Amino acid sequence: MAQSLDEITVIAPHFKRRLSGVTSTVIQLIPEQQRQGLGILTLGPGLPDHLPKMPWSQLPALWKKPRNGRPRVWHARRNNEMLAGLVLRDVLRMPLKLLFTSAAQRHHSRYTRWLISKMDAVVATNAKSGSFLKVPHRVIRHGVDLALFHPSDEIDTTIPVDLKGRHLVGCFGRVRHQKGTDLFVRAMIELLPDNPEWTAVISGRITAEHTSFADKLKADIAAAGLTDRIRFLGEVDDIKPWYRRLTLYVAPSRNEGFGLTPLEAMASGTAVVASDAGAYAEMIVEGETGSVVPAGDYERLRDAIATFLEPQKAMQAGRKGREHVVASFALAREADQLKAVYSDMLGTSGAHVGAPDPVTKA
């Protein structure tokens, strides 16, 4: 049953069925925004049932303003969501303000630049993404749910028995060249023979177009005689216990938008070695919570991983990582800063809960 839109001030469209980094962000962020008292609904497929949703049939109700008499914010994160907002606002004349969050770290196409130029406000998820924007914007970094991602002193019973008692080094995400899965496997083949107390795990979807890529990795592992020590988990139902079980997490991506996995790992008390793709370099305190290396640089990645295969060093970095995320990347902080942006857009600045980072121009 459709709920009343009288108290709804933000619509968060999600026009993609398959899981993506944007999806993960929305799944974590919207419940926190609700906890802070924001009236927000999602629109579109690909999201779990527990999130607040409006049906497509309720779109005509957006012609009516909410009870406060102000427009609503249409918070887009993709091109098709920006385009839909433009149609609703400029063609159908619905009382909407358009906000776009940009995570891309590349020069935008002419079409995307045109869409962005029509937004009422723009947010970048990190400074690097912001450097590619040609409009005024605010930098608001993603946060992580500290209640969901947390350390544990206990070995989770869902972890396979034959992995218990070993130090685990993991790489999570879709198995493909862009994610650097091959760099991780290559490093493990080289390093694990001299580190018998460690086992490597890889979790993530292998899509049809990347099956041959994954098969080649598995063949390389088998040829090295390490099939029992470099394990493909596939997609797991709940990745959180795996973060807690790891001693070291590796994010070797060649390209990212933002990338939440290092934050999730650090929040879980796990050290992180990552490339400088996405916002990874802005998350990690070099030498303290882990290490950052140039994207695609295999030798630097391998050597950084080797440094943290000393268990005590990795565990100390994991403890510092948790402290760092609590101080700088709590999900509540991201929600606070977005609430401030919404308030500015709607002229209700007195309702600010937190101040966003300064407005910058590319």
Hey, what are 74's tokens?
Answer: 């249409």
Residue 338 has pLDDT above 90, yes or no: yes
Mean per-residue pLDDT, 118-130: 92
123, 146 Cβ separation under 8 angstroms = no
Residue 129 has pLDDT above 60, yes or no: yes
Hey, what are 145's tokens?
Answer: 């749910």
Query: Which domain, by its residues, includes 265?
Result: 161-328
pLDDT at 156 (0 to 100): 60
199-228 tens-digit pLDDT: 999 999 999 999 999 999 999 999 999 999
Which is higher by pLDDT, 37 or 19? 37
pLDDT interval class at 360 (50, 70, 90): very low
Of 71, 69, 21, 75, the residue nearest 43 (C-alpha)? 75
Mean per-residue pLDDT, 2-27: 86
Is 337 found in the same domain as 321?
Answer: no
Is 235 found in the same domain as 324?
Answer: yes
Is 175 found in the same domain as 132?
Answer: no
274-285 tens-digit pLDDT: 999 878 998 999
The answer as to whether 154 is a domain residue is: no
Mean per-residue pLDDT, 2-14: 91
Which of helix, strand or coil describes residue 172?
strand
Which is higher by pLDDT, 180 or 256? 180
27-70 tens-digit pLDDT: 889 999 999 999 999 999 988 889 999 999 999 999 999 999 99
Is 208 found in the same domain as 129?
Answer: no
Mean per-residue pLDDT, 129-142: 92
Summary mean pLDDT of the chain: 90
173-206 tens-digit pLDDT: 999 999 999 999 999 999 999 999 999 999 999 9
Is 128 found in the same domain as 34?
Answer: yes
| Sheet strand arrangement including 72-76 | 40-43, 10-13, 72-76, 96-102, 121-124, 137-139, 359-360
pLDDT interval class at 164 (50, 70, 90): low
pLDDT at 157 (0 to 100): 57
Mean per-residue pLDDT, 71-86: 97
pLDDT at 240 (0 to 100): 93
Is 244 found in the same domain as 186?
Answer: yes
Is 49 found in the same domain as 64?
Answer: yes
Contacts of 296 (CB under 8 A, 6+ apart): 180, 183, 254, 275
Residue 155 has pLDDT above 70, yes or no: no
Which is higher by pLDDT, 71 or 156? 71
Is 248 found in the same domain as 121?
Answer: no
pLDDT at 105 (0 to 100): 79
Please state, in angstroms and rounded to a whole number, the distance separating the CA atoms of residues 337 and 353.
7
Mean per-residue pLDDT, 74-81: 96
pLDDT at 165 (0 to 100): 64
Is 282 found in the same domain as 183?
Answer: yes
Kindly report the CATH number assigned to the domain that includes residue 100: 3.40.50.2000
Is 188 found in the same domain as 74?
Answer: no
- Count structural domains, the chain: 2
Contacts of 115 (CB under 8 A, 6+ apart): 79, 82, 83, 86, 100
Residue 19 has pLDDT above 70, yes or no: no
Please state, in angstroms and rounded to a whole number, the distance separating the CA atoms of residues 183 and 356.
37
The answer as to whether 152 is a domain residue is: no
pLDDT at 108 (0 to 100): 92
The answer as to whether 149 is a domain residue is: no
Least confident of 76-80, 150-154, 166-170, 177-181: 150-154
pLDDT at 59 (0 to 100): 96
The answer as to whether 193 is a domain residue is: yes
Residue 352 has pLDDT above 80, yes or no: no
Please state, in angstroms and rounded to a whole number, the distance separating the CA atoms of residues 270 and 319.
7
> What's the longest Cα–Cα distance across the chain?
67
Residue 253 has pLDDT above 80, yes or no: yes
pLDDT at 46 (0 to 100): 80
pLDDT interval class at 258 (50, 70, 90): confident
